[in-house]
Copies of this chain bind each other. A is one copy, B any other.
């Protein structure tokens, strides 16, 4: 960590800072520049981060040299993490596709969709039983009933299932029913929930908050790993920007950025990013070409009747066509799908 002093910082201020840092056990290196004095600190940067050094008299700015996360970083674990869920491996050569409706609505249509997406090549069924909705008057999901339907389709089709948990009190319940527990974008910084799923035995699919930096995204993953659960799958799903022709802006760069910073697998949700089904195929291709380890796609057989996000759902036949188009792209980058 580096402390930059204000132009007119007093000698007493400088001495006070150095004394304080030494008391904390840090080695200091002072460099008197032409216009500024800077103090370099050597020691445990994590400890330093907890101190409001910028509040010290004479300090203009503090610059951090190291990254604020540890367990999720490539430096901590250079090799790619491959998350295992049932017989599925996420983060390996094969690109993994999850598909299904935004919300679980009823048993029959879920089974119908499940069969269709499996036929097209999906290996995981997605479907919300607990739904975060911005309006209290919108459909909030079927709750445990929905989880039961997911389990039912899981047994009938052999697909794994992923579903979201929104409340610390529901973690044990959801874990009982699903193969992968999802933390939604709006809960990416619900730190109590992160800690709770950090104690779960199932893998976690962590969605990026729509206004979270990659750094904050990795910090939220660090919460989960810090509790002992290393099976975390990161999911880029679009960030909020000024552009309004899509629901969110898919940050496709986050794929190579995260790959360089972290060992965790990264998948992409093109449906929530686009908000319109017409663009889902192009975004899926972009994600695969950029190195994503998987996709999570909304598919519904009657989007106009869907109880949530029908605008962005693909029809099974459109999904199937897209899967066919993705195959040669996967091959082109020496992977499979």
Contacts and interface: CB of A to CB of B under 8 A. Distances in A.
Nearest to A291: B282
User: Which of A166, A189, A215 has the most CB atoms of chain B within a 10 A radius of its CB?
Assistant: A189
Nearest to A315: B55
Contacts of A32: 42
B240 A256 contact: no
B257 A246 contact: yes
A310 interface: yes
A279 to B, nearest CB: 5
A122 to B, nearest CB: 20
A129 interface: no
Nearest to A306: B52
A185 to B, nearest CB: 9
Copies of this chain assembled into the complex: 4
B222 A242 contact: no
Interface stretch (A81-89, A113-121, A130-138, A173-181): A130-138
A25 to B, nearest CB: 12
A219 interface: yes
Interface in A252-281: 252-257, 260-261, 273-274, 276-279
A270 to B, nearest CB: 9
Interface in A125-171: 132-139, 166-169
Contact of A55 (B166, B288, B311): B311
A179 B220 CA distance: 31
A239 interface: yes
Given A2-B2, A2-B63, A210-B211, A139 B239 contact: no
A169 to B, nearest CB: 6
A237 interface: no
B40 A34 contact: no
Interface in A34-74: 34-36, 38, 40, 42-46, 49-57, 63, 65-66, 68-69
Contacts of A223: 136
- The 8 lowest CB-CB distance pairs between A and B, nearest first, are A52-B310, A211-B211, A289-B289, A328-B332, A55-B303, A55-B310, A256-B282, A286-B286
19 contacts: A2-B38, A36-B65, A38-B65, A55-B313, A63-B63, A69-B135, A168-B169, A169-B169, A214-B243, A241-B241, A255-B286, A256-B282, A260-B278, A260-B279, A282-B289, A282-B290, A289-B290, A329-B333, A332-B332
Given A31-B42, A36-B66, A57-B304, 8 more contacts: A34-B43, A49-B138, A135-B222, A213-B242, A213-B244, A250-B252, A252-B252, A256-B283
